[in-house]
Structures are given as C-alpha cells and as structure tokens.
C-alpha cells in the first residue's frame, strides 16, 4: 500500500495548530510531515514582554517536537515548490533534499518590511522574532550603560530616547513594556536621571489601536501617557538616521534607537511560487485550497482568506490562524475520505493587547475591558495555547513568580572561549557625536 504524505510548511500558529489537529487522526495510509526553519513556534504577541524582560525568552516559544506524537518534524527551509510534480525542495541540516507530497499546506508567516521610510532599513529595529526581542533588550541595556559613562548632556539624552513607530497592537505593547523596563532598571544605574530616559510612540493615524474601538484606543493612550510615554498621534516619520527621526511637520526627534512595528512583506518563497496572489498573499478558495492548484492549501499570514461570516478578508492574527488551521484539518480529513469540504467561517471572539505594568485593553464578545482584568485574560489565552500540560504548569509558575520581582537586567552576550580575548568593537554611540539640525 502506497503511503500518502501531507506536508505542512511553516511552524507558526497556523502550521503547528494544523499539525496538532491532524496528529494521530490520519488513516494508516497517510503520514504527516511538518517542516520549519525553526525548531519552535514563537508566540509573537508576547515578544514585547520578552523585550522588556518581564518574561524570559524561552517562555514565548514552544518546541515543535513536543507537539507531535505521530507526525514527523524536519527543521529546514523550503526553497521551491513544483506544483505540477507535487514536490518541494528544502535545505536541511543534512543538505538539500526533495520531498514528494500528496497535499501541501503553505503556512508561512510574513517578514518585516523596512523600506517604508527612508533610513528605516539601516537604522530601524523590527520586532518580529525572538532574536529581534533579545537584540533590542540588549541594546536598551547597552544604551543605559553608555549614558552612565557619557558626559555630554545632548548625547546622554539622545542615547536615552527610544522612538517606536507604529501605534497598533505591537507598537502599543512595546511602548508599555519598554517604559516599565526603563523604570525598573534605573535603580541599578544611579548616574542616570529619570528625565534622561524617554519613550516616544508615533502613530500616523488619529488614534492608537485602530483595530479596537475608539474607547479602548483612548484607554490605551491615557494609560501610556500616565506612565510617561510621549504618545503622538497623526504624526508621521519621514526620515531616520542614527541620530534623529525627522517628522512630517519638520520637527526633529533626537534619538539613537528607533523601533519599527509597522509594515510586513511576504515570505520570499511565496513571491517565487507564481501562484495567484493579491496584496502579497496567496488567493485561496472558501475551503482554503489554493485556486487552480490541486493538492495545495494555504492558511495563516501568507493566505488571503475571505471569511464566510462577513465576506471580508480574515485578519492576520493568532486567533484567526488557529481557527483557519482547525477548519483546514477538517477539510483535509474530509478530502481523504472523499467527503465534501466546508468554507472557512469564523466570528471574531474579540481582540486583546497588553500595555505594560500588568495592564491591558480588550474587547471580548463585544464587552470592552481594560486594566488588570484585560491583562490577565490576555496572558490566560496565550498560556492556554502552550503545548503539553507540563509546559503550561511550568510557565504559569514562572509567570506568577515573576510578578513579585523586578525585571531582569542581564545583558546576554554568549561569547565563545576563543572570542574572549578579541578586542571589542567600539559601539557607534560610544564616542561623542555632535548635534545636527538635519539628517
């Protein structure tokens, strides 16, 4: 009997939820294979908390191998897909390999886009991965340490000014976590004054969190402002350098650190597939199969999915990725047993955002929440998505324990033995840089 293979390409929320839904439920004639560049899935909405050292980085990831009891996992990057031959080519730890499939599910996430503002690619810092979060966290600690060693007042203030571009979920969460992180760590840097550390949040639109109601957007604005964040709505950055951010009105914000939470672009593989595309996403049928391509399916951020509930494109959020995956699991099982598939249809349960200091905003089943109840609900949801009971319990204990202690200030460098005697490169901001009027 020939074994048929279902391949899932992508280890994010969509891909891993689909794998868990199919694992152990396929008939003996079928096998499940999940391939991903990373050996873990990242809970991206929690990256701001890892950046602010409220939680440890290992608490925002979950090992993919722990999620599969019967399916196979391969760590590798998919380089090409031949839909006619039903094969894919991937680079793995053993080199390049070609895999045949009967059904292939594309569940890639997207990438950060850094060409929206001149200078953003060279001087901006995106927040899309655990590596991004740890890099920014180390950079924040480095900036504060530099301030202690700097005598020039202008340079000190520029080093301590952190500008965040984007007032959506990620931007608001990052601003809230960063301002709390700076307050928490300042006690360990006695030569740094409170007014030398500043967080500015720039939002091009008229209010924060346009995905939520005006009331909750205003609540987030008020909470951030009360904790010291300089929130600027209807404000657009036009140019960025290593010294300043230029605004549309001509104002210059002197800053050595710019964080970017706007803009996404498709995975490079999606752009190379020659599949039907719209707005950078693969166009799929109502049952999540790719148009005019038998055996190919797409879910998550890489797919343009029309929600049957309201006939609007489904948003690229974890909630919808999970529901899309569950719908596709049913459709794949139906296809295998030669039963009709169903269209994707989901009514949003709401949306949530953490805004730091154990505060949040949320709308659940049409009911608005703010403050600590929203934050607790936000954390409870992501804890529920963690695989295995053991991991849930361990993270719950660590989260609870961490609520009673200040943020960690460890600067993680991971130097290898042969690197210890090397002469360190001087940071760009270690030397005094004269103030400038233009960039």
Averaged in consecutive runs of 10 residues, what is the pLDDT profile of the chain (439 residues)?
91 95 96 96 90 87 93 96 96 95 93 89 93 93 95 96 95 94 91 96 94 88 94 96 94 96 84 84 96 95 95 91 97 97 94 84 87 89 84 87 75 68 56 37
**Partners of 112 in the β-ladder:** 264
Could you tell me if 143 and 160 are in contact, meaning their C-beta atoms sit under 8 angstroms apart? Answer: yes
Which three-class secondary structure string do you get for 253-304? EECCEEEECCCEECCHHHHHCCCCEECCEEEECCCCEECCCCCEEECHHHEE
Do 228 and 278 share a structural domain?
Answer: no
Q: Is residue 413 included in any domain, yes or no?
A: no
Residue 415 is predicted with a pLDDT of 65
Distance from C-alpha of 208 to C-alpha of 211, rounded to nearest angstrom: 9
Tokens, residue 124: 């901006």
Among 265, 415, 318, smallest CA distance to 60 is for 318
Which three-class secondary structure string do you get for 117-151? CCCHHHHEEECCCHHHHHHHHHHHHHHHHHHHHCC
| The dihedral sign for the CA sequence 131, 60, 220, 359 | negative
Give the structural domain span for 141.
Answer: 120-263+351-402
Do 340 and 225 share a structural domain?
Answer: no
Distance from C-alpha of 98 to C-alpha of 35, rounded to nearest angstrom: 12
Could you tell me if 280 and 266 are in contact, meaning their C-beta atoms sit under 8 angstroms apart? Answer: yes
Distance from C-alpha of 324 to C-alpha of 287, rounded to nearest angstrom: 10
Angle between helices 130-149 and 169-185 (to 10 degrees): 40
Do 219 and 293 share a structural domain?
Answer: no
Distance from C-alpha of 386 to C-alpha of 303, rounded to nearest angstrom: 24
Q: Is residue 44 included in any domain, yes or no?
A: yes
Could you tell me if 346 and 320 are in contact, meaning their C-beta atoms sit under 8 angstroms apart? Answer: yes
Q: Is residue 159 included in any domain, yes or no?
A: yes
Do 370 and 236 share a structural domain?
Answer: yes
Distance from C-alpha of 251 to C-alpha of 8, rounded to nearest angstrom: 48
Among 60, 5, 61, 57, smallest CA distance to 35 is for 5
Do 176 and 81 share a structural domain?
Answer: no
Do 366 and 246 share a structural domain?
Answer: yes
Do 304 and 196 share a structural domain?
Answer: no
Residue 329 is predicted with a pLDDT of 98
Do 338 and 393 share a structural domain?
Answer: no
Q: Is residue 418 included in any domain, yes or no?
A: no
Do 133 and 104 share a structural domain?
Answer: no
Do 273 and 298 share a structural domain?
Answer: yes
Do 254 and 272 share a structural domain?
Answer: no
Q: Which of 313, 329, 348 is the last residue of a domain?
A: 348
Q: Is residue 11 included in any domain, yes or no?
A: yes
The structural domain count of the chain equals 2
Distance from C-alpha of 107 to C-alpha of 18, rounded to nearest angstrom: 9
Q: Is residue 36 included in any domain, yes or no?
A: yes
The separation between CA 21 and the C-alpha centre of its own chain, rounded to angstroms, equals 23
Residue 437 is predicted with a pLDDT of 35
Q: Is residue 423 included in any domain, yes or no?
A: no
Do 255 and 150 share a structural domain?
Answer: yes
Q: Which of 321, 348, 375 is the last residue of a domain?
A: 348
Residue 209's Cβ-count burial label (10 Å; 0-12, 13-18, 19+) is buried
Distance from C-alpha of 116 to C-alpha of 335, rounded to nearest angstrom: 42
Label the pairing between strands 281-283 and 303-304. parallel
Q: Is residue 425 included in any domain, yes or no?
A: no
Residue 416 is predicted with a pLDDT of 67
CATH number for the domain that contains residue 162: 3.50.50.100
Tokens, residue 213: 């109601």
**What pTM was computed for the model?**
0.88
Could you tell me if 20 and 93 are in contact, meaning their C-beta atoms sit under 8 angstroms apart? Answer: no
């Amino acid at each position: 009997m020939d074994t048929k293979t279902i391949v899932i390409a992508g280890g994010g929320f969509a891909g891993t939820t689909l794998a868990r839904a199919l694992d152990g439920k396929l008939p003996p004639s079928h096998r499940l294979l999940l391939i991903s560049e990373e050996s873990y899935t990242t809970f991206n909405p929690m990256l701001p908390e890892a950046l602010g050292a409220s939680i440890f980085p290992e608490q925002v990831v979950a090992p993919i191998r722990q999620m599969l009891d019967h399916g196979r996992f391969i760590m590798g990057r998919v380089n090409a897909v031949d839909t006619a031959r039903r094969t894919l080519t991937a680079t793995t730890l053993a080199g390049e390999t070609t895999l045949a499939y009967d059904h292939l599910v594309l569940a890639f996430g997207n990438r950060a886009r850094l060409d929206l503002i001149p200078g953003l690619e060279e001087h901006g810092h995106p927040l899309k991965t655990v590596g991004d979060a740890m890099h920014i966290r180390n950079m924040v600690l480095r900036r504060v340490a530099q301030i202690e060693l700097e005598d020039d007042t202008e340079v000190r203030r520029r080093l301590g000014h952190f500008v965040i571009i984007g007032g959506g979920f990620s931007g608001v969460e990052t601003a809230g976590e960063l301002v709390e992180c700076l307050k928490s760590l300042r006690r360990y840097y006695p030569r740094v004054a409170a007014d030398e550390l500043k967080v500015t949040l720039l939002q091009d639109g008229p209010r924060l969190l346009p995905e939520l109601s005006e009331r909750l957007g205003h609540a987030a604005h008020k909470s951030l402002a009360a904790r010291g964040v300089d929130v600027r709505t209807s404000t657009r950055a036009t140019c960025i350098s290593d010294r300043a951010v230029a605004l549309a009105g001509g104002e210059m914000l002197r800053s050595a650190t710019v964080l970017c939470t706007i803009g996404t672009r498709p995975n490079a593989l999606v752009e190379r597939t020659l599949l039907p595309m719209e707005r950078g996403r693969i166009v799929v049928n109502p049952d999540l199969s790719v148009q005019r391509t038998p055996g190919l399916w797409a879910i998550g951020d890489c797919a343009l999915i029309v929600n049957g509930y309201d006939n609007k494109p489904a948003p690229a959020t974890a909630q919808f990725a999970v529901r899309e995956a569950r719908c596709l699991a049913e459709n794949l099982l139906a296809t295998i047993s030669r039963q009709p598939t169903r269209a994707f249809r989901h009514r949003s349960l709401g949306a949530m955002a953490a805004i730091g200091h154990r505060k949040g905003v949320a709308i659940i089943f049409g009911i608005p929440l703010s403050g600590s109840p929203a934050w607790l609900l936000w954390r409870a949801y992501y804890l529920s998505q963690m695989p295995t009971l053991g991991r849930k319990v361990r993270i719950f204990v660590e989260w609870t324990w961490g609520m009673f202690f200040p943020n960690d200030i460890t600067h993680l460098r991971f130097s290898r033995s042969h690197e210890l005697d090397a002469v360190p490169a001087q940071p760009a901001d270690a030397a005094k840089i004269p103030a400038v009027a233009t960039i």
